[in-house]
Amino acid sequence: MNNIKFEVYHDQFYQLVGSQFHLDELFSEAVWAEGPAWNSQNQTLFFSDVKANKLYCWNAEKGIQTVRSPSYFSNGNAIDLQGNLISCEHGRRGISRTDQQGNLELLVDSLDGKRLNSPNDVIVKSDGTIWFTDPPYGILSDQEGKKSPSEIIGCYVYRFDPKTQQLNIATFNTMRPNGLAFSPDESKLFVADMSVVEFNTDGLHHLVVFDIEGNYLKNRRNVAEISPGIPDGFCIANNEVIFCSCETGLVVLSTDGTLLGRFILDKTTSNCTFGDDQKTLFITATNSVYRLTIQ
């Protein structure tokens, strides 16, 4: 059943990840696929094609469908506690919510009167708060948004509470934050800091972790340097195994930084998310969306 190339670097790989793997390609016509988010309520996968300015969905019954075109250059997506779709929009430089009837609402796009850069990736905590990263990639050119000057000096991780409409900078201690994920107990937030894209000599391509203290992130530590390429999106299993995108596929490591192995797709991989269980992994990689089934 193994039809995907993989490498094992630690004897715990088979115990923590699995030993049989099957890969299905669900879609192959994207320019740059990103932001997979699984909605268990309607058994549907949502994902963005950032550079084509489209938002898609897939389910086993209907296959691929277009949700929105144009999509305001949507990037990262998540599902909130009510089953609504939460999206990062480069085009409107904000976070939107799409309910299950298809109604679209822009939730937040500025802090203290200053427009955000271009929200990139997003997750929803069990208390309903929305956490997201805000690097500049949607305002650097017209490829993924609209070339514009930054109004906020810096690229931060934010926390937004849709109940109170409060937005705050959770940490100033990131240079180019991208993907993010909570630890299984939500006491920590892991973030991809990929400043090497702009700074070849001193830039980072690291996963880092913060302690969550109320609305804020404290005590930044390095978890691992990701190679080849950069860490983009990633997800964390309940057994504290991280599946992290890189230039050739997925790096698999524990939350303490121990490298367990890797899955090789031979194309630049942008993100991944779990399905209903943690034996199904949906992966976006360059032009494709895959489903990896694990046994």
Specify the CATH number for the domain of residue 182. 2.120.10.30
In contact, 261 and 244? CB cutoff 8 Å: no
Return the pLDDT at 254: 98
**Residue appearing with tokens 């030993």:** 19
Instruction: Count up the domains in the chain and report the number.
Output: 1
What was the pLDDT predicted at 1?
Answer: 72
Helices (H) and strands (E) in the chain, counts: 1, 27
Measured distance CA(239)–CA(246) in Å, rounded: 21
Contact 117, 93 (CB under 8 A): yes
pLDDT value of position 202: 73
Tell me which residue range forms the domain holding 149.
Answer: 5-294
Q: Which residues of the chain have pLDDT under 50?
A: none
Sign of torsion, CA 134 139 140 143? positive
pLDDT digits (tens, 9 = 90+) for 43-60: 999 999 999 999 999 999
Alpha helix positions (H), the chain: 13-16
- Please provide the distance, in angstroms rounded to a whole number, between the alpha carbons at the two ends of the chain: 9
4 vs 141: CA distance, rounded Å: 35
Name the token pair of 163: 């109940």
Pairing outcome for strands 259-264 and 241-245: unpaired
Residue 58: how many CA atoms within 13 Å on its side-chain side?
21
**What would the pLDDT profile of 157-184 be if each residue is shown by its tens digit?**
999 999 999 999 999 999 999 999 999 9
